[in-house]
Amino acid sequence: MNPSRQIVAYFDFDGTISRKDTLVPFLVFVVGKLRFTLALPKLIPIVIRYCLGMINNEAAKQATLTVLLKGYSKRQVEHKAKQFALTHLNKYINPVAYAKIEWHREHGHNLFLVSANLGIYLRHWANLHKLDQVIATELEIDAQQCLTGRLLTHNCYGKQKVERIQDFLTKNKLNFNYAYAYGNSAGDFEMLEYADEPYYVSGEMIEAWEGRNG
């Protein structure tokens, strides 16, 4: 990242850079299809409670991660995360959105990936594609370097995206003059409102965002 570059572009990942949610494919890749299938009796009630509004997306994510990843070593999951980023993520990428990344890179802008998804695999993808920074949901690791199944950070969604961006800029003494943002869902609205030039991504269409009621 070059602080002398005064323009930044914030990109959501799932549904913006990617065509679909990538968390479930990642979890299946880590634990295997058999274990994922055997875990469905525990996962389905979590989905039902979320759909009924009984728990929020952060609680649903944490419960899912506890079922599937608790006890895995950080080293094992990091290895799988790197493999997944190198061999699987690119097939989900929206070429229209990726062209925007390339445009910003060509113009010397700072590139930030800001996602509710897991930083453990998004960082590998970002490094591969030369993005400057990843702000995402992070996993808690215990003293034995194993996943606890809990989140280290809040789910990086909605207002958390802006709070995490501002916290990062403050800690690193960065002050950009102009910000672009790209998102595709309600979880991105606060980030879009925060930017000087926000864009809404819908499939192959990228349009100037006109606000929540636009």
- Count: domains in the chain: 1
Residue 210 confidence class, pLDDT cut points 50, 70, 90: confident
C-alpha 164/C-alpha 208 separation (Å) is 24
Tens digit of each residue's pLDDT (9 = 90 or more) over 60-103: 999 999 999 999 999 999 999 999 999 999 999 999 999 999 99
| Residue 1 domain flag | no
C-alpha 79/C-alpha 73 separation (Å) is 10
| Residue 152 domain flag | yes
| Residue 213 domain flag | no
DSSP H stretches of helix in the chain: 23-31, 33-38, 40-51, 57-69, 74-87, 95-106, 119-128, 159-171, 189-194
Residue 11: Cβ within 10 Å count: 26
What is the value of pTM for the model shown? 0.93
Tens digit of each residue's pLDDT (9 = 90 or more) over 16-33: 999 999 999 999 999 999
**Whose CA is closest to 153, among 26, 58, 71?**
58
Is residue 4 over pLDDT 80? no
Q: Say what the pLDDT of residue 211 is.
A: 81
C-alpha 196/C-alpha 203 separation (Å) is 22
Residue 83: Cβ within 10 Å count: 14
| Residue 2 domain flag | no
Range of the domain at 185: 7-208
What SS3 string covers 126-174?
A: HHHCCCCEEEEECEEECCCCEEEEEECCCCCCCHHHHHHHHHHHHHCCC
Is residue 56 over pLDDT 80? yes
Domain holding 38: CATH number? 3.40.50.1000
Tens digit of each residue's pLDDT (9 = 90 or more) over 31-51: 999 999 999 999 999 999 999
